[in-house]
Structure 1
Amino acid sequence: MGSSVHLGLALLNTAAFVLCVLFLSYVITVLRPFLRHREVELGDRADFDWHVLIPCLDEETVVVGTVQHLLDTFPEATVWCIDDDSRDHTHELLTWLATRHEKVRVVSRRPPQARQGKGEALNEAWRRIRAELPEGADRSRVVVGVVDADGRLEQFCPDVISGPTLFGDPTVGAVQVQVRITEDVDALVGTDLDRLVGSRARTEGDHLLVRLQDLEFAGPIAAMQFLRRRTGSVAMGGNGQFTRLTALDDVARDHGTPWHGALLEDFELGLHVLLAGHRTEYCHDTFVAQDGLNRVGPLLRQRTRWSQGNIQCLRYLWGVLNSERISIPGALEIAHYMWVPFSQVFGSVVFPLTAAVTCWYAFTDPQGPDRWLLAGAWGLVPLGLLFGVLPHALWGAFYRTRCGTFVTRRGALWMGVANIGYGYLLQICAWRALFRVLRGRREWHKTARANDRPVAGTPSPTPPPTPVPRR
C-alpha cells in the first residue's frame, strides 16, 4: 500500500511539474518578442480597394453605430452588412442605412441557407464582392476585412496595415490586428493608448471580467501572435482580420469557399491561407475594439465554442505538418495551439489530484504532517507558486506597462491575482467543448451581449418616408 501511494504521488508530481515547466517556458518564449516590439512603417490606404464585412444576427442594438463609425473613419471602404435572417429590426435598419449611403451594401440571407454559422454568411458576401468587381480588376489590391457588429476600427488602421511589411508586401495574404475589449468601444477608439492619462476615464468604469478579457487579448494573445510572426504561423481572429482577395480565391479554389464549417472559422481560414502559400501577419500598432462580456455564463459559452472549434481544426494538423509551405517551427506552433484544449483538460485533473494526494499523504504520515513538510516536501510550495501561479500573475504588470491602459500598481497586482482565477475558469470551457465533440453537437450559438435587449421590447426603427438619393 505504501509503495503504491509513493509511486502514485511521484507520477502525479512529475506530471504536474512537467506541465508547469512547459507552461512557464512558453510564457518566457512569447514574452521576448512581445517586449522587443517596434512600430511598423505606415503605408497609404489609397493603394488598395477596401471591403469590410459585418456579419449580423439580431444586431439592432449595435450595428448602426458600427456602420456609421466605419463610414466616418474609413470612407474609402465598401461596407457589406450580412443579415443572417435576423428576427429583430436589424434588416430594416440596414436597408435604411443603404438608402442613405452609397458605400453600404446589404446581403440578406434567408432559410434554409441562413443561420448556418458565421463562415457561411461571410462566404455569401465574398461571392457578392467577386460579382461586383469590374472585369480586369487587380484582385491582389482588393482587401477584405471582417469587423464584428459591435466593433470599432482605430481610425489609422488602413494606413498601418498598408505598410511595406504588411499588405505592402505582396507575399502577405492576411493581417490580423490587435483586439481590445471594453464596455465603451467609442471611448476606446477615441483614446490615445500611448498616453496613459488619456485612457484613465475609459478604463475605470469597466467591469473586472471585461478588463481581464482585455488583459488576455492585449497581453498573452498578443504575445503569442508576436511569436507566431517569427514562426510564420500568425492566426486570424474573428474580429479585425483582413485578407487579400487573391488569398481568399486561392483557398476557395482548393476547398470550394474561403470560410468553412469549424466553429473557429477565423483560425481555420488562417490555416488555409498558410496552406495556400500566403503569409499571415499580425499588427500590434492598430486595433479593433469590441464589447466585452461582463457575465460568466456568456463568457463560458463563447469560449466553449472557440475551444470546440480548435478541436475541430485538428483534422488539418496532418496537412500542416506535411506542408512544404509552412516552416517546421510554424507547424510545431500550430500543433501546440491545437493541443491547448487537451492540456487544459489534463491539467485540470492533474493539479487538483496532485494537491489532494499530497495532502492525504501528509496527514496520514505516521510522524505527522509537520514532520513530512520538514523532511523536504515544503519545496513543493515555492515550485507550485513559481510554475503554476507566477506565469498568470505576471500579466497584470505587463498590462499596466505595455498595453496603454491606466492601471495603478495596486490595480496591476490585483489584476494579476484575478488573472490566476480567470485562467483556471477557462479550463471549464475545454471540458464543455470536449463533451460537445463526443456528443456530436456542432450547432453555432450567438453570444449574448450585456446591452442586448429582448426582441419583443424593441421599438420599430423609423426610416425616412422616402429614400434619400445616394451620394
Structure 2
Amino acid sequence: MFLMALYLVYSLCVLTARPRASLPAERPLHFTFLIPALNEAAVIGATVRNLRAVAPDARVVVIDDASEDGTAGEVNLLARQDPAVILLRRRLPHARTGKGEALNWGVAQLLRRQLLPAAPLEEQVLVIFDADGRLDAGLLPEARRAFADPHVMAAQARIRVRQSGVTAPGWRGLLGRLMLLQQDLEFYVVRHIQLLRERVHTVGLGGNGQFMRLSYLAGRLEGGLSPWPPVLLEDFASGLEIRLTNPLYRLVFLESGVSQQGLTDLRRFLRQRARWTQGNLQCTPALRRIWRTPMPLGARLDLTYFLAQPWLSLLTLALLLYYPARAVDHMVSGTVNWPLTLELMVLNLSFPLLWVRLYSRENGLGLRRATFAALGMPIYLLIMTCSVPLAFRNFWRGQHGWAKTARHAEA
C-alpha cells in the first residue's frame, strides 16, 4: 500500500506540472554540437546535414570512437566541404572506453586545440547529440533564452521517438510498432516529470539534446575532474555533479526538442534498459553527498527517489510474482475481497489510461491507434521490468562494459 500511495501522489504531482510561463530575452550564444560516434556510418551523414541546415551558425564536432565502418570517412568528406564540421578521432587501445570518456576527451581536445569560437567561455554552450538525432528549429532560440540566466549551467531538451524502422512482418512487426509507440509515450510522460523536477532544479540530463555551459566544463577539466563520471548513466551523473558542485547552479528543461530512433528489437531494448538501470545503481553512492550538500528538501527527495528506482523496480517485480499466486489461492478458497480488488484495479489503470488519453490528444491519434497504445502499455511495462534482474546481475558481477545501441539507415 505504501508503494501504491507513493505512486499515486507522485503521478498527481507530475500531471499538474506545467511549463514555465515566461523566459528572459534571448542572449547571444555560440553553440557547438558534440556527437560521440561508434560505427554510425548508416546515420551520421544525415544527422550532420540536418544540424548544418537547421543551425547554420553552429559548429558540428564528431568524435569517432575507433569505428570499424565508414563513420570517419563519411564525416571527413563532409568536413572537407564544410569548415564548420570537425572530425576528432580516438584510436585503440584508448578508444571504446565508454560514452562519457569519449565526451571528456572530446571537450579537452576542443579546448586544447582551440577549435571553438573565439568568444568568452560563458557565452559558449556544447550540445551533446546522438548520431541519429534530428533538431527542432525552435530549440536553439529557447536555449538562448534559458541560458540568459547566468546560473543555468545545463539544460535538457525534450525527446521524441520517430515512428520508423519497422520492417519485420507478422508478430515481430507488430511488436516493433508497439515498442516504438510506447517509447514515444514514455518520453511524453518523462516530459511531464522533467517539468516537475524543474521546480526544484533537478532536471535529469539525457544523452541526446544535453546542453552544457562551456565555462563549467572547462573549470571541471582544469581542476582535474571529469564532467562526465565513468558510469553507464553518464548523462544523469553529469547533471548530478552540476547540482552538487554549487547550490546556485540550475538545470532547466527545454520544451522544443530532438527526435531519435527507437528500438524495435526486444533483445537490444532489454540490453539498453538494463544498462540504464545499472548506471543508476552506479550512482547510488552519491546519496550521501545529496543529503550533505545544501539544497531544498524537495530536491533531495526527488534525487533520492530517482536513485531508489532500481530497488523499487525490483520490489515491483517481486510483487508481480507474489500477488497473482496469492490471488489464485484466494479465489480457490473463496476469500477474495472483491470491492477492494476492483478499487485497486481501477487505481492501477486510471493513470496509465489518462497518460494515453493525453498523449493521443497531443499527437492526434485516432481511436484505433489510441487503443493500440492503451493495450500495449502493460506489455511494455512488463518488458521494462524484466530488464531489472539483468541490470542487478551485471552490477553484482562487476560487468560494466558499454553496450552500444545499434542504429538503422532512414530514407
**Contact residue 42 and residue 159 of structure 1 kept, 8 A:** no
Distance 2:192 2:260 in 1: 19
**Contact residue 84 and residue 115 of structure 1 kept, 8 A:** yes
More displaced stretch, 343-352 vs 76-85:
343-352
CA shift at 1:398, angstroms?
1.3
Amino acid at match of 1:237: G
Structure 1 length as normaliser, TM-score? Answer: 0.80
Matched ranges for 1:232-311 at <5 A: 232-253=201-222, 256-277=225-246, 278-284=249-255, 286-311=256-281
Distance 1:65 1:39 in 2: 35
Partner of 1:147 in structure 2? 129
Partner of 1:393 in structure 2? 353
SS state at 1:426 partner = helix
Partner of 1:226 in structure 2? 195
CA shift at 1:250, angstroms?
3.6
Partner of 2:169 in structure 1? none
Instruction: Identify the match of residue 216 of structure 1 among 180, 183, 186.
Output: 186
More displaced stretch, 209-218 vs 378-387:
378-387
Matched ranges for 1:40-79 at <5 A: 40-41=22-23, 43-44=25-26, 47-79=28-60
Q: Aligned-residue CA RMSD in angstroms? A: 2.1
**Contact residue 250 and residue 276 of structure 1 kept, 8 A:** no
Partner of 1:441 in structure 2? 399
Partner of 2:316 in structure 1? 347
**Contact residue 293 and residue 450 of structure 1 kept, 8 A:** no
Partner of 1:466 in structure 2? none
Instruction: Identify the match of residue 168 of structure 1 among 130, 144, 148.
Output: 148
Q: 1:254 to 1:416 in 2, by over 3 A?
A: farther
SS state at 2:88 partner = strand
More displaced stretch, 408-417 vs 49-58:
408-417
CA shift at 1:329, angstroms?
0.8
Structure 1 residues 112-153: Cα deviation after superposition (integer angstroms, max 9, x where no partner): 110001011111220122121689841110100011000011
Percent of matched pairs sharing the same residue: 31
Distance 2:224 2:4 in 1: 39
SS state at 2:317 partner = helix
**Contact residue 57 and residue 86 of structure 1 kept, 8 A:** yes
Instruction: Identify the match of residue 297 of structure 2 among 313, 325, 328.
Output: 328
**Contact residue 160 and residue 260 of structure 2 kept, 8 A:** yes
Structure 2 length as normaliser, TM-score? Answer: 0.92
**Contact residue 40 and residue 160 of structure 1 kept, 8 A:** no
Distance 1:394 1:416 in 2: 9
The count of residues paired between Structure 1 and Structure 2 equals 398
Distance 1:117 1:40 in 2: 38
Q: 5+ unaligned residues in a row in structure 2: which ranges?
A: 166-175
SS state at 1:242 partner = strand
| Rg larger in structure | 1
Q: 1:426 to 1:168 in 2, by over 3 A?
A: same
SS state at 1:145 partner = strand
SS state at 1:108 partner = strand
Amino acid at match of 2:128: V
Distance 1:175 1:412 in 2: 31
**Contact residue 24 and residue 148 of structure 2 kept, 8 A:** no
